[in-house]
Amino acid sequence: MKEQEYRSLPATFSKSERLKRDKRIKELFQKGSSFFLYPLLIKYMESPVPEGVNQILFSVSKKNFKRAVDRNLLRRRMFEAYRLHKHTLTSLPDQENFLLIAYIYVGKEKATYQLIERQLIAALKRLNDVKSAKT
């Protein structure tokens, strides 16, 4: 797809894109691979997903951020950066397996949106490389 076609796609985050099932989350954390891009730890795993989309989980530790306001702010920043740049994580139409991804914020201080966005874009490119290497 060309850049212009990407921009015409809706930058939404539907309910089917959220990673919610305990069974899938446990499987991701037990069997999945991971890499670190400060302040994010990214866990991922290929899995057959009946919804036919990549599923995402955002997490911020209560240990590092006691106030829910701070955790929600960081989660919203990660969510927005992913929503705007998810088109870089391409998927083939005939593909059976999709990615389960967890973005875990592990920094001790609140990062700016620009830093989170930059690291999340790098993570998406790396995930794209991993995904294309397996096909």
10 falls in which pLDDT band (50, 70, 90)? low
Question: Hey, CA dihedral for 64, 68, 74, 75, is it positive or negative?
Answer: positive
Tell me which residue of 101, 77, 76 sits closest to 88, measured CA to CA.
101
Confidence at residue 114, expressed as pLDDT on a 0 to 100 scale: 97
Domain range for 118: 3-134
Do the strands 55-60 and 97-105 form a parallel or antiparallel pair, or are they unpaired?
parallel
- Residue 32 is part of a domain; what is its CATH number? 3.30.230.10
| CA gap 15, 24 in Å, rounded | 15
Q: Which two tokens stand for residue 85?
A: 């740049």
pLDDT in tens, 68-123: 999 999 999 999 999 999 888 865 555 677 899 999 999 999 999 999 999 999 99
| CA gap 34, 47 in Å, rounded | 15
Total domains in the fold of the chain: 1
Confidence at residue 91, expressed as pLDDT on a 0 to 100 scale: 59
